């Protein structure tokens, strides 16, 4: 029996969700084979690169970055209102 036949026999007895997991793993291996940089930290996405450029502009402008408390406050405001009553 060939490896391919053995794989197909085992595949057929798996539940659909397990078959999906196998497919995702095979796709992962395929991507890794085609372009190993896809899976490394050195690979930069367009969005990530754009965020780094925006941050660099803010730092260069001397605009102070928000601290953790300020970030949480900003997030609360954007989610419909400030929940903190300390101020």
pTM of the model: 0.40
What would the two tokens of residue 18 be? 């397990």
What H or E segment, with its residue span, contains residue 54? Answer: helix 46-60
Tell me if 75 sits within 8 A of 84, measured CB to CB.
Answer: no
pLDDT at 75 exceeding the cut of 80: yes
The pLDDT tens digits of the residues spanning 3-22 come to: 999 989 998 998 888 888 88
CA angle 54, 52, 50 (to 5 degrees): 70
Burial of 27 (0-12, 13-18, 19+ CB in 10 A): exposed
The domain segmentation of the chain, as residue ranges, is 3-39, 46-78
Residue 78 is given by DSSP the state H
Q: Is the model more confident about 85 or about 81?
A: 81
């Amino acid at each position: 029996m060939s490896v391919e036949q053995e794989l197909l026999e085992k595949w057929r007895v798996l539940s659909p969700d397990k078959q999906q997991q196998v497919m995702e793993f095979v796709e992962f291996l395929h991507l890794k084979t085609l372009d190993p940089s896809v899976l490394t930290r050195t690979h930069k996405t367009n969005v990530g690169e754009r965020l780094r450029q925006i941050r660099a502009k803010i730092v260069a402008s001397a605009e102070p970055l928000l601290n953790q408390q300020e970030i949480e406050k900003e997030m609360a405001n954007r989610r419909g209102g400030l929940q903190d009553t300390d101020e």
